Structure 1
Amino acid sequence: MDARISISSEQRSTEEALIATVEASFADCADPRMMQLMQSLVKHLHAFVRDVRLTEAEWDKAIEFLTAVGHITDDRRQEFILLSDVLGVSMQTINVNNQCVDDATEATVFGPFFVNDAPEISNGGDIAGGAPGQPCWVEGTVRDTAGKPVPGARIEVWEADEDGFYDVQYPNDRAAGRGHVFAGPEGRYSFWGLTPTPYPIPHDGPVGKMLEATGRSPMRASHLHFMVTAPGLRTLVTHIFVAGDELLKSDTVFGVKRSLIKDFVEQPAGTPTPDGRNLVGRTWTRTRFDIVLAPEIPR
């Protein structure tokens, strides 16, 4: 149907009357915020339907799609997060809720592969857990926007292996490519991980089919996930990205921010490592990520 079709004033009035009726149905909601959310949702959903002159067959397809998203979601795979991510809704929600404060580190998407209770490692420890990939030394500091170190900050990290898979995508329950470390007395932290490589989001489900149908790539730019928490400071969920990655401008979940692009400098085989680790003739990379946490927002 041509979305530019002429709409009679009578038809327009009928459509607008329905919107008003549905909005009014929430007027007795005891929670003002809930009422605002529902009335705004109704207004924008109906605006979409009217803007594109949505057909009944198209709406049926949309319901089938959302049903399929629900069916494939389980405790190891969150297809709704993927859907939110590829539509840019996750990133926009982050933008709205993490406005810039001084030089605080910018936030980006959470992603669907975080796992609670990842193993603790000591400063300078290894999160790889045997996952394949080029070793990478990551170091930095955690401080607040006043420049004070944040000793004891909890730094959760997780990443895909060189084959593009997270540990939870494998059939076993081994923790690999993830862990948490606590910042030291001066706010310093370090760990061994893997040099990030590009990978596709899971695209064997309904979200992947949607991307294929619309001519979009499922590829994510190379990145390493962080979640940093400390009392009295805003929780930071972010990534760091690899400078020079050709996917930085087309990350399928729109998560790249310029400030989060870091140099991962390759070290020739035989280069001494910061902690004396023997890599038996292997190349490795190193990067630095200094983290600045914003003040906690009063609720």
Structure 2
Amino acid sequence: MKLGSTPSQTVGPYLSIGLPWEDGPFVVPEGAEGAVWIRGVVYDGAGDPIPDAMIETWQADPDGGFRHPDDPRGHRGPEFRGFGRCPTDAAGEYRIHTVLPGVVPGEDGAPQARHIDVSVFARGLLNRVVTRIYFEDEDNSGDAVLASVPEGRRETLLARRTADGYRFDVRLQGEGETVFFEF
């Protein structure tokens, strides 16, 4: 019996079959008050852009409420989805149209800094990797999760201000590797 070889990819590039949808990158509709773009590139360990990765985001609305039935604080109406999904393009770029999230309580009840939870799916990964986006121009002091990251690596979690939002690149391995968390 002779078996054929299997693809070397584990999660990707099969992501493009059925997972993305047209308005997936829009956590809020275009023209929504306070909307910003978060854009970036997903890089592999050699520093090359990954053209077939996928970014998913989950976040609170500006008041700190999640669009989830278990959140007693509620959320901002039907225009706020709270979830975004964007595949990378040929240049490894993704984009998410959203609003800045509000402050939410941590497990101990202490406030967490404004952040967006991010899942990254890409070739060569058996499971997604999970990180957070914090914002360089917001008060991140007192955030227990960010404080748990060695000081020299925290910058990998900071989105940088741009003309119409923020830039957040993801490096899966190597120099400047993004900090990933257990989930």
What does residue 255 of structure 1 align with? 146
Shift of 1:226: 0.8
Contact persistence 1:133–1:162 (CA under 8 A): no
Name 2:41's counterpart in structure 1: 141
Asked if the contact 2:65–2:102 (Cα under 8 Å) also holds between the matched residues in 1, the reply is: no
SS at match of 1:167: coil
Deviation at 1:146, TM superposition (A): 0.4
Q: Match of 1:287, SS?
A: strand
Q: Aligned partners of 1:241 and 1:287: how far apart in 2?
A: 10
Q: Given that residues 240 and 261 in structure 1 are in contact (C-alpha distance below 8 angstroms), is that contact kept between their aligned partners in structure 2?
A: yes
- The 8 Å contact of residues 160 and 168 in structure 2, kept in 1 or not, is answered as no
Q: Who is 2:27 aligned against?
A: 127
Distance in 1 (alpha carbons) for counterparts of 2:102 and 2:173: 29
From the superposition, tell whether residues 187 and 155 of structure 1 become closer, same or farther in structure 2 (CA, over 3 Å).
same
Provide the C-alpha distance between the structure 1 equivalents of 2:66 and 2:20, rounded to a whole number of angstroms. Answer: 15
Does residue 77 of structure 2 align to residue 177 of structure 1?
no
Return the alpha-carbon distance in structure 2 between the equivalents of residues 199 and 167 of structure 1.
13
Compute the displacement of 1:238 (Å).
Answer: 0.5
Higher relative contact order (CA 8 A, sep 6+): 2
C-alpha contact 2:158 2:168 (8 A) present in aligned 1: no
**Which of 74, 82, 92 lines up with 1:187 in the alignment?**
92
Alignment map for 1:34-53 (pairs within 5 Å): none
In structure 2, what is the equivalent of residue 161 of structure 1? 61
**Matched-pair contact (CA < 8 Å) for 2:37–2:95:** yes
TM-score of the aligned structures, taking structure 2 as reference length: 0.64
Say which of 114, 123, 128 aligns to 1:222.
114
Higher strand share goes to which structure? 2
2:161 aligns with 264
Higher helix share goes to which structure? 1
Tell me the TM-score normalized by structure 1.
0.41
Contact 1:233 1:293 in 2 (8 A): no
Identity value in percent: 27
Question: What's the secondary structure of 2:146's corresponding residue?
Answer: coil
Structure 1 residue aligned with 2:134, among 241, 244, 267? 241
**CA-atom RMSD, angstroms?**
3.3
Count, aligned residues:
144
Map 1:94-109 onto structure 2 (within 5 A).
none
Measure how far apart 1:230 and its partner are: 1.0
- Segments of 5+ residues of structure 1 without an aligned counterpart are 1-117, 202-206, 212-216, 268-284
For the pair 1:150 / 2:53, whether they are aligned, the reply is: no
- Tell me: CA distance 1:197–1:121, structure 2 relative to 1, closer, same or farther (3 Å): farther
- Find the structure with the greater CA-based Rg: 1
**Compared CA separation, residues 167 and 121, structure 1 to 2 (3 A):** farther
CA distance in 1, matches of 2:135, 2:47: 26
